[in-house]
Amino acid sequence: MTQPLKAKLVSMLDVVYPELDCDFLAEQLLITMGLEPNQEPPPAHQNNWDESDVVLITYADTVQRADEKPLQTLHRFLGDCLSDTVSSVHILPFFPYSSDDGFSVMDYLAVNESHGGWEDIEAIARDYKLMADLVINHMSARSRWFENFRKRVDPGKDYFFEGNPRDDLSAVVRPRTSPLLNPVQTDDGERYVWCTFSEDQVDLNFANPKVLIEFVSIIRRYLERGIIIFRLDAVAFLWKEPGTPCIHLQQTHELIKILRLLIEHHSPDAVVITETNVPNRENLTYFGNANEAHVIYNFSLPPLLINTLVTGDCKHLKTWLMSMPPAQMGTTYLNFIASHDGVGMRPTDGLLTEEEKQRLINTMDSFGGKVSYRRTPDGRDQPYEINIALYDALQGTAESGRDHWQLQRFVCAHTVMLALEGIPAFYIHSLLATENDLERVEHTGRLRSINRSQWQLDDLEKKLADPLSHHSKAFQELKRLIAIRRKQPAFHPNATQFTLHLGLQLFGFWRQSMRRDQSVFCIHNISNEVQQVALGDINLIGTDHWQDLISGMTIDDLSGSITLKPYQSVWLSNLEVTV
């Protein structure tokens, strides 16, 4: 009898481990995941999402309350304020860690005691689709595995990637300026470990299939705890070969396919997301042929959209949008404009000129932002990301500096994101319009802390209850827009999208529902001046009745025009699907 699952698995493993008995390895992986060799696959090109899906990104301890574990406080805040707004919650690494605010994991199978316990994670997973990080590229230098590496005992003795200072590492692509190889004293002498990100984050060695088996076991445990969405952190760096760039290698792509194959056979509604903060063309490769990531982060969107709104010129954003391929069924984009990290600059390669990048950096610097750097193969330091809170990133323009349009510009950015092809994701500090936290940067010494504030729940509730606070104004308006979006078939993540040509100050695109019964023309004034939109330029069908879903305005004269105030948006729809 044929065993299609096992046969597929063996064919992928053969690419990664050509010297091994991959038939035996496949059996080990299937047993680890609790799968049968002939288990039926999920339906091909299945969309595990729709227009109602909205993601919240947060740390476990972003919202705190005295005498309560932060995960319980987070669950309380979600229930009180966001239960009708978000469908999915991405809790950033909630494991015991030694650095990088969670991304230097010490134990993949434990919840940080200061955050709560597995019962708190499971409680949130019962109410929301829960996304968790699989920090798969590296592990803490203070983990038990690494201690075993030092002692030369299992498990861990050969779990970490070792390098040789004499190797040619000149082609290696780095996201940091820190040393790539770090000397470590072990019980059998000095060894050099590979550290893509920091000395405390030691890269794992997937050339050892035991590491793959360990991670499959971890994934199964997460699924059993209710985690249904897996964010593969820094996965592009997974496979290393000295003499190559050590990024996007074929073995990395095959390993993602292997993990997806196992995950979707275990849980057909599960989703794999790849986090690859790289230039746009490289990022798109992680869809594979609809057999790698279900979802990829739309990393070019944040810098391009911010650049558009501070320059008042949508040329580059429009050019990029026109070049983006529609995602196949069963795959889609994750749209975001802020996250726990900074605004990546590598995704602007080939999209902005060096002069335009520098102008954006200078503008963000004038608004309180900081810049992190990476080291290029030729030894130069180049800007890697801008560290800034989104609300402050949009407080003015490149030409004139700070102005009084900050809130409107901020809302406009999210209105664009909400309407684009893909699933919208809101970083909690964007939803709350949190400003730059320079005090936290001073305290931690880390630039990324500027956008990793922590709120006391009582203080946050007071801000959100005050109708005059910008936090309340932004929060209520974003919730209103999200509620409208979640009811529109034309905003399904895989619904048709075409770019409109309305000049440089009006950014527009057309969405059409998969049943072709709803069209929404999304038009955004991305400038600080009033703009006129000739309705004849957007081809509204004359036999339909048209309404702006945002304002409720109806269109009676299709030969006329509409006036958009600075940073105003309209969603012109032929179906009156409002809240």
H/E stretch holding 362: helix 354-366
Is 231 part of any known ligand binding site? yes
Give the Cβ contact number of residue 377 at 10 Å.
Answer: 12
Alpha helices in 179-300 (DSSP H): 209-224, 250-266, 280-284
Round to whole Å and give the CA distance between 205 and 240: 8
Cis peptide before 155 (omega within 30 of 0): yes
Which residues does residue 455 pair with via DSSP β-bridges, in sequence order?
63
Alpha helices in 437-469 (DSSP H): 438-444, 457-465
H/E stretch holding 163: strand 162-163
Q: Please state, in angstroms and as integers, the Cα–Cα distance from residue 294 to each residue in 39, 130, 233, 299, 350, following that order.
A: 20, 15, 15, 16, 25
Is 341 part of any known ligand binding site? yes
* Residues 261/216, Cβ–Cβ less than 8 Å: no
Round to whole Å and give the CA distance between 264 and 282: 24
Q: Please state, in angstroms and as integers, the Cα–Cα distance from residue 395 to each residue in 70, 363, 430, following that order.
A: 31, 10, 13
Tokens of 156: 């861990």
Round to whole Å and give the CA distance between 562 and 554: 11
Is 154 part of any known ligand binding site? no
- DSSP 3-state assignment of 561? strand
Round to whole Å and give the CA distance between 559 and 542: 10
* Residues 519/512, Cβ–Cβ less than 8 Å: yes
Is 138 part of any known ligand binding site? yes
Alpha helices in 270-300 (DSSP H): 280-284
Does the annotation mark 233 as catalytic? yes
Is 100 part of any known ligand binding site? yes
Torsion of CA 334, 339, 344, 349, to 10 degrees: 20
Largest distance between two CA atoms of the chain: 82
* Residues 297/276, Cβ–Cβ less than 8 Å: yes
Catalytic pick from 233, 392, 437, 548?
Answer: 233
Spatial strand order in the sheet of 343-344: 343-344, 381-387, 370-375
Q: Tell me whether residue 50 is exposed, middle or buried, using C-beta atoms within 10 angstroms of its C-beta: 0 to 12, 13 to 18, 19 or more.
A: middle
Tokens 């959209």 -> residue:
305
Round to whole Å and give the CA distance between 273 and 16: 21
Dihedral sign (CA 87, 93, 94, 95): positive
Round to whole Å and give the CA distance between 248 and 254: 10
Structure letter (DSSP) for residue 490:
G
Residues in the chain: 579
Round to whole Å and give the CA distance between 569 and 538: 15
Is 409 part of any known ligand binding site? no
H/E/C letters for each residue in 113-162? CCCCCHHHHHHHHHHCEEEEEECCCEEECCCHHHHHHHHCCCCCCCCECE
Round to whole Å and give the CA distance between 298 and 430: 17
- Binding residues for substrate are 100, 138, 231-233, 340-341, 448
Annotated binding site: 100, 138, 231-233, 340-341, 448
Which sequence positions are flagged as catalytic?
Answer: 233
